[in-house]
Amino acid sequence: MNPSRTGRPLTRAAVSSNGSVNGRAPIRILLVDDHAVIRQALRMLLESQPELEVVGDVENGREAVQAVEKLNPDVVLMDVVMPGLNGLEATRQIRRSSPSTRVVMLSGFVDEDQLLEALRSGASGYIIKKSDVSELVLAIQTVHRGNSYFSSALSEGFDLAEVLYQAKRSDQRTGVEALTSREREVLQLIAEGYTNQGIANALFISVKTVEAHKAHIMAKLHARNRTDLIRYAIRKGIVRLESVEEAEKMLANFGGDDGVLAG
């Protein structure tokens, strides 16, 4: 976020002794990003706005799902790519368990596929991280009122009306959208270098169940091997390239895996 460019000025509202702003309760926000410095910067920027209240910050999607259940925020600012459970899948789970909570995705970049996936996951907004603070605040206010908001920069590269139309069509949901929630989690962990046993431990399921999920994933994505799954996960913004590279080095150092990455 760039605090030096303010866009249009933000008005200072009257804050009462009980924390309400102009008689309204502040908008309660949960921050989700795997970089601590970004969470800290966002907290400082948002807490300078009297109409906003940051109720918590967490570093991954799994923690975000748990935090929403505990804190019941109005709006979640969600990074897209995070280890363990990415922002897209976390958004799906949050929208199912807490329909009143709105989610705004935060990303350093965006392509049409990723924007479409974000909308289909249930996100109400999409903000590029280089946006001004004023635009971020406006996005929070807009989605809190029940509307959608997209970074102004997106309108320059995308036909947003067409993307919104495609997001509402259920007959064209293929690829990652055809996977179950659990299969999407398994796909991410495979791409991050987890073994069968590691995935089983992380998700509290059996190794045999992991193997079944992997078989279903490969069939639905028409993947021939692990490399196909990794390429797909990177292309869809499910994992970062550097995360995959780190996993490859780790597996090489420890002499391979128990079979989840074979093929």
DSSP 40-92: HHHHHHHHTSTTEEEEEEESSHHHHHHHHHHH--SEEEEES--SSS-HHHHHH
Between 248 and 192, where is the model more confident? 192
For the CA atoms of the chain, what is the radius of gyration? Answer: 19
Q: Average pLDDT, whole number, for the chain?
A: 82
Of 61, 63, 67, nearest in space to 121 by CA: 61
Domains and CATH numbers, the chain: 27-168 (3.40.50.2300), 175-253 (1.10.10.10)
H/E stretch holding 36 reads helix 36-47
256: left (phi over 0), alpha (psi -120 to 50) or beta: left
Residue 156: pLDDT over 90: no
- Residue 20: per-residue pLDDT: 62
Residue 60: pLDDT over 90: yes
CB 115 within 8 A of CB 141: no
Q: Which residues on adjacent β-strands are paired with residue 24? A: 21
Q: Which residues on adjacent β-strands are paired with residue 15? A: 21
CB 102 within 8 A of CB 29: no
H/E stretch holding 93 reads helix 87-97
Task: Give the span between the Cα atoms of 27 and 121, in whole angstroms.
Answer: 22
Portion of the chain with pLDDT greater than 90, in percent: 49
pTM for this model (two decimals): 0.72
- The count of other CB atoms within 10 Å of the CB of residue 168 is 9
Of 4, 20, 16, 99, nearest in space to 53 by CA: 20
Between 13 and 28, where is the model more confident? 28
**What is the per-residue pLDDT across 213-259, written as a single tens digit (0 to 9) for each?**
999 999 889 898 888 898 888 888 788 776 666 655 544 554 444 43
Task: Give the span between the Cα atoms of 261 and 216, in whole angstroms.
Answer: 15
